[in-house]
Structure 1
């Protein structure tokens, strides 16, 4: 398995609207996607685009804003412990999700749930933070346009 680029940093928030305002007004964000629901994962998400090394917006690492969708949302527990919200996870790309899953399983890393389709429309899975230097880690298959 070969590690790919850092695709996004997930940030849990009680309000995507408030967080979008922060990224626009405080951080100078220019491009933000429309929020959309992911009912299967119990969250609403949107992405804040950042520039790449040469300043091209939309080509850098994204910030994924994650808001609970319903009372059973898996991020409600995170927000209960972190009322102001904050960094929830990091997400790395891989070229082959099945190969990556087998790699991490072979290393004895705990995978949280099945491989499923994530917010970018590609397969993903999560690794337990206790096995990943304290960071909840998402592994996603590189989107085709990359």
Structure 2
């Protein structure tokens, strides 16, 4: 069911200093910031040959990652994103196997313009999982 690793997301207090580390010290290509009001974050993507790193910054005080960043002010891994061929079939299979889909279970459009869903971390060894339509 799951496909390739799309990205690993790291929540940070401020995008620019974090992006500068990847750009400068690691010599990576970093995208321009992209606000995602529906998700309450602003993101940049660090391009890797086989995947991406997503850096997320809270967009406003009501951001769903604001508390996470407050608990991890230096930044921390927030979630892992896997691609799936059919997000609705994946959702239904996961639910049939007892996994909890967050946010009511209806996909939202993510940063890549594709439908995404999030799965409860307690069902996946403490890791928040994002599924993205391939």
| TM-based fold match above 0.5 | yes
Count of aligned pairs: 132
Q: Secondary structure at the match of 2:125?
A: coil
Specify the alignment match of 2:92 in structure 1.
102
Structure 2 gaps of 5+ residues are none
- Give CA-to-partner distance per residue, 1:61-82, whole Å, 9 cap, x none: 1001100101100010101111
| Corresponding residue for residue 42 of structure 1 | 40
In the alignment, what sits opposite 1:89?
79
Residue equivalent to 2:114: 122
Runs of at least 5 residues in structure 1 that lack an aligned partner in the other structure: 52-59
With normalisation by structure 1, the TM-score equals 0.88
Is 1:131 equivalent to 2:123 in the alignment? yes
Equivalent runs, 1:1-146 vs 2, <5 Å: 2-29=1-28, 31-51=29-49, 60-113=50-103, 114-142=106-134
TM-score (norm. length: structure 2): 0.95
The CA deviation at 1:26 is 2.1
Task: Tell me how far apart the structure 2 counterparts of residues 76 and 3 of structure 1 sit (CA, whole Å).
Answer: 29
Consecutive aligned runs of 4 or more in structure 1 exceeding 3 Å deviation: none
